[in-house]
Amino acid sequence: MMNWLRVALFGAGSVLCVAAAMAQGFPSKPLRIVVPFSPGGTADVLARIIGQKMSDALGQQVLVENRPGGGTVIGTEFTARAPADGHTMLVMANSFTINPAIRDKLPYDPFKDFAPVTLLVKSPQVLVVGPTMQVKTLAEFSALVKSRPGKFSLATVGPATTQHIASEMLKSAMKLEMIYVPYPGGAPAMTALGGGHVDAVLANYSEVAPHVTSGKARAIAVTSLERTDTLKDVPTVSESGYPDFEAAAWFGLVVTGGSPPAAVARLNAEANKALKLPDVREKLIAQGMYPVGMTPGEFDAHIRAEMGKYAKVIKEAGIKVD
């Protein structure tokens, strides 16, 4: 019995030693953060800010690699097929949890092919109106739209994007009938609003902020549960009569599935440390991104909850990808 005990203890000790060695040896080469969006967008800015701090802490260069297209499927599949060594990360967003509900077949499994690292930031959507709608509050907006059902238009990035789903959630909660107008990006949607081609836009804070500041658009509600530091005078949808309404965009970090737990733990620790740095927080908040940070287990639960939420909205709204 003593021999078996010695073997068991030796085996357990060996596993701990291997895990410790892996943690100390990681990373062994430059890392990359895949961004499934075009350069210059919110996810790209986030990846570069966090990537630089992680590079400093890990002692290896962290490269940002943009692989846009396919509603984020191209960059996501690329990450899924990368070596499972923890050196390839993906900045993923709500679209990661939306795609399984709107696409019949995905070239990857959202759970088996990825390992959660952490939720990085949340970014509220902002409902803004242009010169065609003389309203200042969400209540006034609701009353006007309901007075002429199907006559007013609401534009978002779309279709089947985070913003589109958020707009459907908002219309459902408020029982509004509006014309949905998709645009290839937040910038063209805001240009259309300024020109009077659409009546309202729901978009990321960073996309509407310049127009609100200049007075070309009026912000009437934010979709986060709490007011933002950068739009303190703009109430949330929740406090405007629709309790617990939340449809914020969020961005998280995952790695290729099967990566060593020690590598995932190290990436989680360094990413979360970076989110707490004063200069990082300042840069992110200025862009309308609010640092969060989670354990891998918490982030896994978040992903699963978001999938359930979006699947329900998508089914009720009948949203499909052609």
Can you name the residues that pair with 114 across neighbouring β-strands? 256
Can you name the residues that pair with 91 across neighbouring β-strands? 253
Q: Going residue by residue through the chain, which has 322 residues, state the pLDDT in tens, using 9 for 90 and above.
A: 445 444 444 454 443 444 444 456 899 999 999 999 888 878 899 999 999 999 999 999 999 999 988 888 999 999 999 999 999 999 999 999 999 999 889 999 999 999 999 999 998 899 999 988 999 999 999 999 999 999 999 999 877 788 889 999 999 999 999 999 988 778 889 999 999 999 999 998 888 888 998 999 999 999 999 898 888 899 999 999 999 998 888 999 999 999 999 999 999 999 999 999 999 999 999 888 999 999 999 999 999 999 998 898 888 888 877 5
State the Cα–Cα distance between residues 96 and 79, nearest whole angstrom. 12
C-alpha Rg value of the chain to the nearest Å? 22
Q: Are strands 114-123 and 249-256 parallel, antiparallel or unpaired?
A: antiparallel
Tokens 């070596």 map to which residue? 83
pTM over 0.75: yes
Burial class for 14, CB neighbours closer than 10 Å (0-12, 13-18, 19+): exposed
Domains and CATH numbers, the chain: 23-122+249-317 (3.40.190.150), 125-240 (3.40.190.10)
Q: Is omega for the bond preceding 243 within 30 degrees of 0, making it cis?
A: no
Q: What is the pLDDT of residue 13?
A: 47
State the Cα–Cα distance between residues 243 and 260, nearest whole angstrom. 41
Going along 171-281, which residue ranges are E strands? 179-183, 200-204, 218-222, 249-256
The answer to whether 129 and 216 are in contact (CB under 8 A) is: no
